[in-house]
Amino acid sequence: MKRALAATCLALVLLTACGPLPRPFARDVNDPGNKLAQGIFFEGVEVLPLGGTTPPMSKLISEAVIRGLEKEYEIPAAQGDFGGSRYVLSGAVRDNEGKPGAESLIEIDWQLAVRGGDIVEQFTDKPQTTRLEWDYGSAPLLQRIGERISTRVARLVLGERFGTAGQDRLLGRSGLVIGGVTGAPGDGNAALRRAIAVALGGGGVKLTNDPDKALFTLTGTVEMGVPENGAQTIRIEWLVKDFDDHVVGRAEQNNVVAAGSLDGRWGRTAAFVAAAATEGIITVVERNDPTRLRGPNLGAPRPPRILPQSAPPRTSVPSPAPKQVPGRAPPPPT
C-alpha cells in the first residue's frame, strides 16, 4: 500500500514537472476571483518586443506599458507568449534625428490587434524627449510613455467600461501645468509664460508645477511675419493637451504690430496678450475636464458662466478633433 502511494506521489511530481509552467494570471476555473476583475480577465494583452530599438529599451518600454495596464486598469498583460490573451500589442520605433520637419526626435508606431484577427487600431506616439533621455531610458520618460499607451489601449479594450475602470488614475491629479512658450522675439517667451500664469490663476484655473500630476498642459507658439511697410504680423497659438498627451483644444490669436516693436522687452504687451487668450483657454479646459478643475476666483470679478449639461465620458478613439477657439490679441501699447 505504501509503495503504491509512493508511486502515485512520484507520478504526480513527474506530471507537475513536465506540465506547462504556471501562467501569471492563471486561476482555478471554480474560483471567481476578484469581482473587480470579472469580465476583463480574459481580455489580456500580449506586448511584443518593439522593433527599431535596442533590446534593453524595448524591454523597458514594454514593462512600462504593462505596469499601466495592470496597475491602473486591471487588464492582464505580459511580454512574450501570453497564451489565451485576446489582444496583441506591437510597436516599432523611428528615430528622426537629422530629419527636417520632424515633430519629435522619436516616434513609436503602435498596433493593437485581436489575436489572429483584425487590427483594432494603429496610432503613433511622439514622446517629447532629448537624445540623452532616450539613450539612457530615463525613468520619467518611460513612465510618461507607459501611461499614455496603456491608457489608449485600455480605452480600446474596455470600451464603455473605461469610464469607470479608469477613474482611479485621476486620483492625485489636478490643475494645469504651463509648459514652454517658443518663437517669440526679445523676452517674449518668458514674459508670455509669466503673464498667462497670472491671467489663468486670476481666472480661477488651478495651476500646478508638476507635469506628472497635472490634468492639462498648456504650451504657446509665436510666429512673427516678415516686416513689410513698417508692419509685421504676429500669430500666437496656445495648445492645450490632456494628461494622455492628446490635443483637446487651441486658442489662436492674430494681429499686426509695428515692425520690430516686440524685439526687446514685451512689458505690458504680454499681459494684454494673456488677457485676450484666457477666455478661450478656460473654455477648452472646462469642456474637457473630467473632474472639477475650477478653483475659487481670486482675480477680478467675472460674470457667472452658464455651462452646458455635462456630457457622458469620452470613450471614443481616436480623440475628437481639436476645438478651435478664435481670439485676437490687442496691439501692444504705444
Q: Are residues 156 and 222 in the same domain?
A: no
Query: Does residue 26 fall inside a structural domain?
Result: no
**Judgement on whether residues 109 and 162 belong to the same structural domain of the protein:** yes
Question: Domain range spanning residue 113?
Answer: 34-169
Q: Does the residue 295 lie in any domain?
A: yes
230 plus 162 within the same structural domain: no
Which tens digits make up the pLDDT trace of 21-42?
333 333 344 443 333 333 333 4
Q: Are 121 and 157 in contact (CB under 8 A)?
A: no
In a domain, 271, yes or no: yes
Q: Are residues 75 and 129 in the same domain?
A: yes
Query: Does residue 307 lie within any of the structural domains?
Result: yes
Cis peptide before 313 (omega within 30 of 0): no
Q: Which residues of the chain have pLDDT under 50?
A: 1-42, 165-166, 292-326, 330, 332-334
What pLDDT digit, counting tens, does each position of 249-294 carry? 888 899 999 999 999 999 999 999 999 999 889 888 887 776 644 4
pTM, to two decimals: 0.43
Last residue of a domain, one of 112, 139, 169: 169
Q: Are residues 164 and 210 in the same domain?
A: no
Rounded distance between C-alpha atoms, residue 65 and residue 44, angstroms: 13
**What b/e string do you get for 250-289 counting C-beta neighbours within 10 Å, with b at 16 or more?**
bbbbebebebebbeeebeebbbbbbbbbbebbbbbbeebb
Distance CA 112, CA 109 (A): 10
- The count of domains in the chain is 2
CATH of the domain at 41: 3.40.50
Q: Identify whether residues 157 and 48 lie together within a single domain.
A: yes
Residues 6+ apart with CB under 8 A from 1: none
Looking at the structure, tell me whether residues 150 and 189 fall in a common domain: no
Considering the domain architecture, whether residues 186 and 296 belong to the same structural domain is answered as yes
User: Which of these, 320, 121, 291, lies nearest to 215 by C-alpha position?
Assistant: 291
